[in-house]
Chain A
Amino acid sequence: METNSTTGYQVSLPSRSYSSRLWQALRVIARNRLALMGLVIILTGLFAAIFAPYITTHDPFEINIPDRLQPPSRSHWFGTDFMGRDTYTRVIFGARTAFQVAIGAVVLGAFFGIPIGMLAGYFGRWVDSAFMRVMDAILAFPGRLLAIALVASLGGGLFSLYVAIGVNSIPSYARIIRGAVLSQKEKEYVEAARMTGETDGMIMYRHILPNCFAPLLIRLSLDFAGAILTESSLSFLGLGFPPPTPSWGLMLKEVSPFLELQPWAAFIPGLTISLMILGFNLLGDGLRDVFDPRQYER
């Protein structure tokens, strides 16, 4: 293990496969109690998202006006919302919505961010400057503002949420990859690889990318948390998913006029959002504590 002088991350030499690195990460998680808790929370959420129809009691869209705004009862474990829909069911399906958005947004961010970072770092000079300026422009907008603006233009719905949330994370991936590329670029094994005829693409994929595994994993985890938070915030503002989608943020929006009448319907979805975010944060922090103890950047 050496330490990458640019990003300060621990870096392994390029002989290990991706799967062995994944195993290493898992072992690290197992040792750190908080990270493990985070993983458990995430897996629970994922389970709920995948098996939602099998573990819920009602249809999330089934309206039942006479039964609206009921407190928790035997038939409605978390009570009902303002249209008589079962809160428990909608919360479980909300997990599905949350994960859908989060996965898409994060993948989008990484999908664009990683190549940008690679190209910027590898080819340097004006390519680097150009890309980094664009990254700076994205970063010039505080967190949620860009997402709001993008969603305002593109309208609601899954695809625009992907773009709105994903764009925000592109710079982080770009930076991580670029840093790794810059530090590894001059190393001997890269020279050796080039001399044996490997193309730039192969070099980047097989040698440089594996060394960013740890910081990428951390960033992925934290970005998931951010994506869930952003989606629920946007839905709360009415900019994300339209009704009657079971989205946690949207549920909170719908319940706000009836806050005093039915606090439960407001309490539970917010709690689940917090839990999911907490889970991803714990995982990301746990990984970070091991791979890079001195972390002062965002």
Chain B
Amino acid sequence: MSSIHDNMNAKSSNQNALLEVRNLRVQFKLKAGILPAINDISFSLQESETLGIVGETGSGKSVMAFSILRLIPSPPGEIVGGEILFEGEDLLKKSDREMQRIRGRKIAMIFQEPMTSLNPSFTVGQQISECFRIHMGHSKRESLEGSQYVLNTVRVPSPRTMMGLYPYELSGGIRQRVMIAMALACQPKVLIADEPTTALDVTIQAQILELLKELQEKYKMALILISHNLGVVASLCNRIGVMYAGSLVELSGKTRLFTKPLHPYTIGLLRAIPRPEHRDQPLAAIPGSICDLLDPPSGCKFHPRCYKVREICKSDPPRLEKKAGDNQAACFFPGE
């Protein structure tokens, strides 16, 4: 049952994809040189699909999320190649005006730090109403009603009172709910969540993830959930992509990823998860550390840390290809 399910959801086919990223390349021009933050990434996202992206700090996962909405800060950063097709149209070719109509309305995003991501000088109600006013042209009264409604949906206690409060008066969990409410106001087709629970307490994390799951099912939104925590992603997503040093190294269905991981990096990650039954043994960490992006290793960027490295790994960079059914990996010797 599970493998059929995986296969269906792991369809990264090109037909009818809601969002399709093709050969995306993003660079940052720094004093020290040009940093290739995203290196030729491709994947697609169907309607109502839940995709998780995991990777360590520096893997480029947040950069990729910002690229979709073209929120990369443009003096140092620049999207230098590829296409991002949303409902068939390339977002990278759209004008600023057109992008404004997509952001918040068709594709919405929530961020990691709810405290600093909300404007401290405006009330919750004012900030949520903006979405209604700008995108749907609602009147002041209508947008306040809408805001209250959406606050209710995210299970915020006493929404009416909440509307008049300022962000600094709220707890972390509530603030994140407010951010989610703001993102959902216009019922977007895609929600990108960049480390939404990282800054929260563990108990609150579970609540927020539960909420996201519920909302995703209710509104049938596509969800891209970004995290460094495999557990977070596993609870919500049907397909999981693993990023390393700016590239997607594996893209598999959830069950498949956990039971039969393909890429050595994923294998290493899974092995490194502390298990109570192995408490007598040393933690199995992946040797080495992430490569210097300004001066990456030749061939496969993971090869210096890989336990099954061969000659070809040092010279040719592997491409992300289907290795087992619809599950993809960027490795010449996938599997354990």
Do A and B touch each other in the complex, judged by CB within 8 A? Answer: no
**Which A residues contact B (CB, under 8 angstroms)?**
none
